[in-house]
Structure 1
Amino acid sequence: MAGSSRSFVQGPCKDATGMRRRLVVDRPCHHHFFPATAWRRTMKQVQIDQEECIGCGACVELCPDIFAFNDEDNKAYVIKEEGGDADCIDEAIASCPAACITFE
């Protein structure tokens, strides 16, 4: 790993004060590390249950940077899973008549 430019996320290690922390570091610690890309996968993601979507398009109107509409299926889909403006996503979730949008 020497000379590697990849970022690593420190696993559930304790710092000098005994607090459990996860920190992005230039080098992995001597124990409990994994690539930063694995850490990103644990972040919240926006999803639409395609079977439940009724195709009203409310989410697309409210958050066009996050949702788009598939004219063939007449359903919305997510174009930016990592989300964006949390207030916009919350408004889209609240306005969805099918309650098929999650942000977990």
Structure 2
Amino acid sequence: MSNNPSIAFQTKVFEDSAVNGKEPILGGKLRVKAVWVDESTCIGCTYCNSVATNTFSMESDMGRARAFRQDGDSTEVIQEAIDTCPVNCIHWVKFEELDDLRAQLEENGVHPLGMLPKVKRRIKPGKN
């Protein structure tokens, strides 16, 4: 190994810098799998958020857990958070599946915890 710092200026830069969607956005090591929270079955217990604080947060509008950073915690810590989930709504998935899973979640709709779903028209019972 050379102690000559000028070598850094002589090294060729990797020219293919096209974004492919698989890079860690916030820096860090890319995992083989991504972590996914099925928010439609999450009960908002906050266990995962308490264990893996750099990976999970509680979504403020719906009151459910969400993986906001894939490289926030070690694989072991994330797995511990998955193991604490009482409803098994956290899964390891392929990175390529994330967009499809998000689309399915949006299509099915998720209601905020503790609130009744919005209805277009109330049903009024007849007077007897």
Q: CA RMSD in A?
A: 2.8
Letter matched to residue 98 of structure 1: V
**Structure 1 unmatched ranges of 5 or more:** 9-34
Cα 1:83/1:43, change in 2 over 3 Å: farther
Q: Whose strand fraction is larger, Structure 1's or Structure 2's?
A: 1
Residue in structure 1 matched with residue 14 of structure 2 by the alignment: 5
Q: Is the 8 A contact 2:56 2:65 kept in 1?
A: yes
- How many Å apart are 1:5 and its aligned residue? 3.0
Q: How far off its partner does 1:103 sit?
A: 1.8
Q: 1:4 to 1:77 in 2, by over 3 A?
A: same
Q: Please state whether the residue corresponding to 2:86 is helix, strand or coil.
A: coil
- Residue type at the aligned position of 2:38: D
CA distance in 1, matches of 2:61, 2:22: 35
Query: Between Structure 1 and Structure 2, which shows a larger proportion of helix residues?
Result: 2
- Runs of 4+ aligned residues of structure 1 deviating over 4 Å after TM superposition are 38-42
Q: TM-score, normalised by structure 1?
A: 0.59
Q: 1:102 aligns with which of 91, 95, 99?
A: 91
Aligned equivalent of 1:51: 40
Q: By how many angstroms is 1:70 displaced?
A: 1.5
Report which of the two structures shows the higher radius of gyration computed on alpha carbons. Answer: 2
Counterpart code for 1:96: C
**Within 2, Cα distance between the matches of 1:45 and 1:65?**
14
- Matching residue of 1:37: 20
**Selected match of 2:50 from 47, 61, 86:** 61
Whether the 8 Å contact between 2:46 and 2:58 is mirrored in structure 1 is yes
Please point out which of 75, 84, 99 is paired with 2:64: 75
